[in-house]
Amino acid sequence: MPLKLYNSLTRQKEVFEPLNAPYVGMYVCGPTVSGESHLGHARPFITFDVLYRYLLHAGYKVRYVRNITDAGHFEEEGKAAEDKITSKAILEKLEPMELVQKYTHLYHWAMDQFNNLPPSIEPTATGHIIEQIEMIKKIIADGYAYEANGSVYFDVIKYNEVYAKKNQPYGILSGRNLEDQLDTTRELENQDEKKNKVDFALWKKAPVEHIMRWQSPWGEGFPGWHIECSAMATKYLGKKFDIHGGGMDLQFPHHECEIAQSTVCNHEMPARYWVHNNMITINGRKMGKSYNNVVKLSELFDGSHPILTQAYSPMTVRFFILQSQYRGTLDFSNEALQASEKALRRLMDAFEWLKAQSFVADTMAKDVQLDAQLKTWVDELPEFMEDDLNTAKVVANLFEMVPVINSLKDKHIAADAIAGSTWQWVQAQLIIYIEKVLGLRVESGANRQQLNGVIHLLVEIRKEAKAKKDFATSDKIRNQLMEMGIQIKDEKDGEVSFTFA
């Protein structure tokens, strides 16, 4: 069964065929590190991490490039721009690299918390100024860009005239036509520099107060907002590569402009499959700075944002995102996150138990029907993934198996109800799908080993108390551990297990 992905370019699900199998090139637009990442940012990075993981699982050799945008306007959050310009002392002045460093670290920390695999290459915009300038020079030389007062603009009208005839008009990705845009595009500053208001900047002349600036053939300035991705994608993935991903809000203008730039430079549509994840909403609205409804990841993890009734762990958030298909909006609420938290715990408890079992292959199934059902649930996992990464269905099937696993554990079903070979298959596949593909892991705090030892000791004391019918003591241990978020469970066979809330 082949993998099918929804291609925004063609507006349909398409069978994924790499240009040079088994190699796959994938570019995903990374963060702008001028501020801290929020919940909304988590979605693309987790979505494309799962795609990356699935491609690896499918045997492809993937080069996954995810950039860091560290060039542009830089203002520390909450500080007014005037402060930076007026302050004289160097340490009081905004040092862009300091911010870049700070937020890059925070971003990497968050990615790690989410158990996102690091990309193969993580290029920075500031590290590729030369490539960007070269690209701009090429576009000018080909006649699709012009200089105006120290800035360089892309000539969208001309591009459209030429490439519309080649069935690649400007607007091909976002489904817009240029005439509409000419009517609706808002007025921006320095509009008069442009030949036309739909033109976009490749290079901007730096005003005096602009801190980040580089020398260029057009004077001191900084790159436009779209050229970095074109330059870095071309450099590391070639003129044409397989997958270009990002959030839906980047489709226009960002990706549209990338297509135009890259096509002029490389004479090819840069990517074959354009994959866009939908937004995370909060009370039905997209989470974004302009709506003032942003929950930063660090706030999410420690519960410090006023909208949050509690903290949510990174795996809870990851699982929350995986419970929906990436192309739909996903609505955030405390209720929804709490549901995910509980569900994930139930899933992982069952999974961890199953993982620790050893099954013998040579027993026959007494319950043939259940045996077959279990196999079906497992067999459907790849089918769901291949259907445009329907992780929601994958998760649903995992939950179908949870009661069966727990029934085996609690001896509600006999050990030989299901064939040993089936259990081995289920076990192996769940390890692949839960850990490798979905990237879920059991979260552990610091000093977990010591903590476990302490709990085991308390569990022993409680056992002894119970044996002596000293329920006051046994309940005290259980209840106080519960208050600390550690749950004691008396198993059927007299053993005791515990989980961390």
Residues 232-261 within binding reach of RNA (CB under 7 A): 246-254
The Cα 423–Cα 434 span in angstroms is 16
**If you write DSSP's letter for every residue of 251-307 in order, what string do you get?**
IIIIIHHHHHHHHHHHSS-SEEEEEEE--EEETTEE--GGGT---BHHHHHHT-STT
- Angle between helix axes 420-430 and 334-356 (nearest 10 degrees) is 130
Query: Is 410 among the residues that bind RNA (CB under 7 A)?
Result: yes
Check binding of 263 to RNA (CB under 7 A). no
- Maximum CA extent, the chain: 90
Residue 284 is a binding residue for RNA (CB under 7 A): yes
Residues 183-222 that bind RNA (CB under 7 A): 184-186, 188, 200
268 close to 215: Cβ distance less than 8 angstroms: no
| Encoded tokens for 144 | 């699709």
Q: Which is nearer to RNA, 85 or 188 (CB)?
A: 188
**Binder to RNA among 16, 24, 25, 44 (CB under 7 A)?**
44
| DSSP state letters, 152-219 | EEE-HHHHHHHHHTTT--TTTTTT--HHHHHHHPPP-TTGGGSSSTT-EEEEEEPPTT----B--TTS
CB of 19 closer than 8 Å to CB of 58: no
Contact between 339 and RNA (CB under 7 A)? yes
Question: Do residues 388 and 13 make contact, with C-beta atoms less than 8 angstroms apart?
Answer: yes
User: Interacting stretch for RNA, rule CB under 7 A, among 12-20, 181-189, 354-362, 421-429?
Assistant: 181-189
* Site for RNA contains 223 (CB under 7 A): no
Task: Tell me the C-alpha distance between 449 and 337, whole Å.
Answer: 28
Q: Which position among 18, 25, 31, 270 is part of the footprint of RNA (CB under 7 A)?
A: 31
Q: Which residue has tokens 């491609």?
A: 55
- Closest approach, Cβ 309 to RNA, in A, equals 13
Closer residue to RNA in complex, CB, 289/448: 289
Q: Which of residues 473-492 bind RNA (CB under 7 A)?
A: 474-475, 478, 487-490, 492
Give the binding range for RNA (CB under 7 A) out of 14-22, 25-33, 426-434, 444-452: 25-33
In the range 67-86, which residues lie near RNA by CB under 7 A? 69
User: Which one of the spans 94-102, 159-167, 233-241, 274-282 is the region binding RNA (CB under 7 A)?
Assistant: 274-282
Q: How is residue 13 written in tokens? A: 């699900």
How far apart are CB 58 and RNA at their closest, in Å?
20
Residue 329 is a binding residue for RNA (CB under 7 A): yes
Minimum distance, C-beta of residue 254 to RNA, in the bound complex (Å)? 5
Does position 396 interact with RNA (CB under 7 A)? The reply is yes
Q: Is 93 in the site for RNA (CB under 7 A)?
A: no
